Amino acid sequence: MPYKYNESRRHLFKKPTYRQTNYAKYNQSLRDRGRIDIWLSDDIIENWQTEQRSYNGTGSSPKYPDSTLMACHYLRLVFKQPLRQTQGFIDSLLKEMGHTNLSCPDFSCLSKRLSKLGLKAPRFKKTDKPDEDLAAIAIDSTGLKEFGKGEWHQEKHKVNAKRSWKKAHFAVDDEHIIHGAIRLCFRTQPTLSFDITRRLGSSRAYQAV
Tens-digit pLDDT profile for residues 156-189:
777 776 667 777 777 776 666 665 545 566 555 5
Three-class SS state of 166 = strand
Which has more pLDDT, 134 or 137? 137
- Measured between its terminal Cα atoms, the distance across the chain in Å is 22
Supply the Cα-derived Rg of the chain in whole angstroms. Answer: 28
Q: Comparing C-alpha atoms, which of 173, 169, 171, 208 is closest to residue 190?
A: 169
Residue 144 has pLDDT above 70, yes or no: yes
DSSP class of residue 145 equals E
Report the run of H or E that residue 107 belongs to, with start and end. helix 107-116
Angle at 38 between CA 34 and CA 39, to 5 degrees: 150
Q: What is the mean pLDDT of residues 1-10?
A: 64
Tens-digit pLDDT profile for residues 75-131:
998 888 888 999 999 999 999 889 989 999 999 999 899 888 888 767 767 676 666
